[in-house]
Structure 1
């Protein structure tokens, strides 16, 4: 499958700058397990972005990042509150449940976003030995439905969590798209808003592989290195992950790519809204569109431009744009939609 479709930003290739960075470090010998200068340089890039009072751990993938972040904050008798649509709830095969030992409490949401009012329904049983103890609220930015939390919304959730001696974990697999959408400093929706631990995504934004777990309070990360090792996420040749992040965070490349993906989604939205047989179901705030289309047309459309079905009962599908999506891709797909659906 070489033709660009709209299934996922995971389907895209690797940014040229990232590939060049990998090639540059691919010579000579370096200390393993993060003792190399490339890992140090990448951590410095993150400190430029978020401030110096942070702790950074590189891992292989997003599930690993989420597991390490959550495991470091919890004990097995704790519970984690999350949206019903969250990746940790739906798409990680129970890895967070198994490896943290925690109870996960999903809350039904319409737009992927938790609110203090929804969360408060689950804040009970504190100190009661028969009840799992709420410890973490996990939110996703951008959400699994492409929507975006504002800084004020995140701060309200963080304030509520900290009031109850709880922490906030953010799954930021597509954090770059949220920052680009809101046009704010990344700190405004992370550490300044009160987020305690962040899974910072790289793979969906042009890296070959790799994510980062960022602790905004180093006191919380005392055991993170042991959790990472036990979770089989400690990369021996860490320079190959780290150098990608250094490239991605240089000259705001991570934001340029996200802005482009968001722009392509807006272009697709504008054209799709002209087709009466398509119903867009969520606000288009990042790089994705969720839409209901005639079920009997889905397979034929997928054969030309592959995409995923989101809800097969409703005929709801998801179209995601990537750093390498072009206007020609959009125009070709829209022409196909018009041909089959109009």
Structure 2
């Protein structure tokens, strides 16, 4: 299958990650995370997010989100998130089914949570007939490819904490955000008071594995039981941990994410030459959202599969990856140019 602009999940495993898996595949080591690879990976996360954080590895992003939020909520409590949040639109009801909590959604036009719009859910705090908001969840980068600034995250953290709520960050593409902001991870997460983070790697060259990072370590007290009960405790955890060692060492993940971001910027630059194409969102990271003439859709899809974000508007989401090249972009844009003639 040729490379596409459908999703960074379509990309393969980075050679450095594959090498790390192979290197860990020697001899016998203790199971369930009681091994030298997991210990080293945990230390690397502490270097990036703070010495005090507690880290747990799981298989999947949905599991990381649901379990990290579940650690903070009781059954009558709720999450404030945008209407486009991955936990609301792309996790098949897993938060509600497995977490047992309600999602209170806030409309967004740029993927970011508007605190002023979220405040309406606070009017019934303490009223026994309503679920009680207890956690705010944001995605960094957002589902529309935008990136929260340090100031924006700090404002959301202050809003959450001043109203007795926790702050969760869905960091499936946190490395892309770090590359875009040109900041260490902790500068826009733990140092700002983010309580818990779902940290992803599969969209940026890993094979599988996510990390749940607790800045508020009180929330981690019973997480090892929650992880096991939820079927997310890996017996051969060294193969997840080895990937994270390679991923975090020498900021490898920032380099691959920066490349993906640069390819999206290059695609945006090429698209500006066509008056029939309108870019609809800021290109902050590795996603380009654009409206283009519907009659050329099938031609473009034959060259590079992609998803329509809004079929009525014919708005596409074009995603770049760690292995996207300028030649890939040029080939796609050349097909676009020919189709528009």
Q: What range is the shorter-chain TM-score in?
A: over 0.9
Partner of 1:332: 331
Cα distance per residue 1:177-229 (max 9 Å; x no partner): 11111111211210111110000011001000111000002111111111111
Partner of 1:65: 64
- 1:287: how far off? 0.4
Residues 1:92 and 2:96 aligned together = no
Partner of 2:144: 145
Which deviates the most, 73-82 or 224-233?
Answer: 224-233
TM-score when normalising by structure 2:
0.99
Q: Quick one: distance in 1 between partners of 2:218 and 2:280?
A: 42
Contact 1:115 1:153 in 2 (8 A): no
Which deviates the most, 197-206 or 230-239?
Answer: 230-239
In the TM superposition, what are the counterparts of 1:220-239 in structure 2 within 5 Å?
Answer: 220-239=219-238
User: 3-state SS of the aligned residue for 1:122?
Assistant: helix
In the TM superposition, what are the counterparts of 1:203-218 in structure 2 within 5 Å?
Answer: 203-218=202-217
- 1:299: how far off? 2.1
Give structure 1 stretches of 5+ with no counterpart. none
Partner of 1:248: 247
Partner of 1:298: 297
The count of aligned residue pairs is: 341
User: 3-state SS of the aligned residue for 1:137?
Assistant: strand
Residues 1:52 and 2:55 aligned together = no
In the TM superposition, what are the counterparts of 1:119-130 in structure 2 within 5 Å?
Answer: 119-130=118-129
Give structure 2 stretches of 5+ with no counterpart. none
Cα distance per residue 1:236-260 (max 9 Å; x no partner): 1111111000001011101000110
- 1:271: how far off? 0.5
- 1:124: how far off? 2.3
Contact 1:53 1:217 in 2 (8 A): no
Partner of 1:5: 4
Partner of 1:317: 316
Partner of 1:106: 105
Partner of 1:27: 26
User: 3-state SS of the aligned residue for 2:8?
Assistant: coil
Q: Quick one: distance in 2 between partners of 1:276 and 1:55?
A: 50
Cα distance per residue 1:272-311 (max 9 Å; x no partner): 0111111110000000100111222212211111111111
- 1:324: how far off? 0.4
Partner of 1:180: 179
User: 3-state SS of the aligned residue for 2:191?
Assistant: coil
Contact 2:106 2:114 in 1 (8 A): no
Q: Quick one: distance in 1 between partners of 2:159 and 2:106?
A: 16
Which deviates the most, 207-216 or 231-240?
Answer: 231-240
- 1:175: how far off? 0.6
Q: Quick one: distance in 1 between partners of 2:97 and 2:321?
A: 32
User: 3-state SS of the aligned residue for 1:212?
Assistant: strand
Partner of 2:281: 282
Cα distance per residue 1:42-64 (max 9 Å; x no partner): 00110111111001010111000
- 1:116: how far off? 1.7
Partner of 1:270: 269
Partner of 2:340: 341
